[in-house]
């Protein structure tokens, strides 16, 4: 079996694992919030649709939901196997450890993109008047997919280097990206949140874009790729040296 075959096996295994986990329920519930808010807005008669769409997409989906879901899934795809003790069955095979990381990352990122993307698309469809919707939604989906990939890579790496991956991830997202990046503009260069905004703003056909961005598309892509690849390398490095023992 070739390299692709092994990765495919691992992807299928991880996807089936994810379906059975309680975490997916938490993520789905969180993803329902923006849609729920959008429906309430429409039923209440609405106000400035642009401002509402911008608030929902920027403050709720991209700032809160995307990193939360990515951390929940990303720390579970590999971290769950570490906790359950099943990782050993993958490690005692002639499979390069980076292949395990790539498969796990693919599932984490895809699940995040699907859940958050669906939530964002539904919420925007409900709030925005028709006609201007499609291009904006596609821009939002592209940004979400980009963010899902980078956040998931960070989450997978964290799940191998610390036993408190979810907490460390949340601290990064809500302290670094939420507070520090607001106070010191230089730190925006190291903020996945800003890479996502950069992609959405650049691809949005409606200008000025729904969301203000501080980074141009090129920086968002280059810096995002750097962080994502770096985190993946850290994960592969850690898994290659991962020790399994029966010690509690």
Partner 1 sequence: MSAHPLWSPAPVPAEVAGAPLAAVHVARWYGNVVAVNDVTFGVGPGVTGLLGPNGAGKSTLLHMLAGLLAPSSGLVLVEGRAAWRNPQVYRRLGLSPERDASYGFLTGREFALLSARLARLPDPDAAARRAIALVDMEAAADRPIGGYSKGMRQRVKLASALVHDPQILLLDEPFNGMDPRQRLHMMALLQRMAQDGRVILFSSHILEEVERLAERVLVMVAGRLAAAGDYRAIRRLMTDRPHTFTLRTSDDRAMAARLVAEEPVLAVQLVDGGLDVRAADYGSFTRLVARVAAGAGVSLYELRPTDETLESVFSYLVSR
Q: How far is CA 206 from CA 82, 159, 201, 211, 215, in A?
A: 45, 39, 9, 10, 18
Shortest spacing between CB 27 and partner 1, in angstroms? 18
Output 92 or 183, the one with its CB closest to partner 1.
92
Shortest spacing between CB 1 and partner 1, in angstroms? 5
- Site mask for partner 1 (CB under 8 A), range 7-46, x = bound: --xx--x--xx--x--------------------------
In the three-class reduction of DSSP (H, G, I as helix; E, B as strand; rest coil), residue 214 is classed as coil
Of 54-62, 81-89, 139-147, 169-177, which part binds partner 1 (CB under 8 A)? 81-89
Q: What is the dihedral of CA 121, 127, 130, 135, to 10 degrees?
A: -40
Q: Which of 97, 187, 217, 225 binds partner 1 (CB under 8 A)?
A: 97
Q: Which of 28, 85, 206, 222 binds partner 1 (CB under 8 A)?
A: 85
Task: Answer for the pair 112, 148: CB distance below 8 angstroms, yes or no.
Answer: yes
Shortest spacing between CB 58 and partner 1, in angstroms? 38
Shortest spacing between CB 168 and partner 1, in angstroms? 23
Q: Which of 30, 90, 122, 148 binds partner 1 (CB under 8 A)?
A: 90
Under the binding rule (CB under 8 A), the answer on residue 130 touching partner 1 is: no
Output 48 or 243, the one with its CB closest to partner 1.
243
- Structure tokens belonging to residue 162: 């610390």
Shortest spacing between CB 154 and partner 1, in angstroms? 24
- Cα separation of 134 and 206, whole Å? 10
- Number of shown-chain residues binding partner 1 (CB under 8 A): 29
Q: Which of 33, 37, 91, 125 binds partner 1 (CB under 8 A)?
A: 91
Output 10 or 192, the one with its CB closest to partner 1.
10
Q: What is the dihedral of CA 49, 33, 221, 173, to 10 degrees?
A: 120
Shortest spacing between CB 57 and partner 1, in angstroms? 35
Q: What is the 8-class DSSP label of residue 210?
A: S
- Cα separation of 139 and 203, whole Å? 5
String of DSSP letters for 31-90 = HHHHHHHHHHHHHTT-S-HHHHHHHIIIIIIIIIIHHHHHHHHHHHHTHHHHHHT-HHHH
Residues that bind partner 1 (CB under 8 A): 1, 5-6, 9-10, 13, 16-17, 20, 84-86, 88-97, 240-241, 243-247
């Amino acid at each position: 079996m070739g390299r692709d075959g092994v990765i495919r096996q691992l992807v299928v295994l991880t996807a089936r694992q994810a379906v059975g986990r309680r975490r997916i329920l938490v993520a789905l519930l969180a993803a329902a919030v923006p849609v729920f808010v959008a429906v309430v807005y429409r039923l209440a008669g609405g106000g400035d649709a642009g401002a509402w769409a911008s608030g929902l997409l920027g403050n709720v989906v991209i700032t809160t939901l995307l990193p939360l879901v990515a951390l929940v899934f990303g720390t579970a795809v590999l971290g769950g196997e570490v906790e359950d003790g099943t990782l050993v069955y993958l490690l005692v095979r002639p499979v390069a450890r980076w292949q395990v990381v790539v498969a796990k990352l693919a599932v984490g990122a895809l699940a995040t993109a699907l859940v958050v993307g669906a939530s964002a698309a539904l919420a925007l469809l409900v709030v925005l008047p028709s006609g201007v919707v499609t291009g904006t939604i596609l821009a939002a989906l592209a940004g979400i997919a980009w963010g899902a990939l980078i956040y998931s890579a960070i989450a997978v790496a964290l799940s191998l280097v610390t036993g408190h991956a979810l907490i460390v991830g949340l601290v990064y997202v809500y302290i670094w990206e939420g507070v520090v990046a607001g106070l010191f503009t230089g730190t925006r260069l190291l903020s996945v949140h800003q890479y996502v905004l950069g992609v959405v703003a650049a691809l949005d056909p409606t200008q000025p874009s729904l969301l203000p961005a501080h980074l141009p598309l090129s920086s968002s892509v280059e810096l995002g790729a750097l962080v994502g690849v770096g985190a993946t390398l850290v994960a592969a490095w850690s898994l290659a040296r991962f020790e399994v023992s029966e010690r509690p």
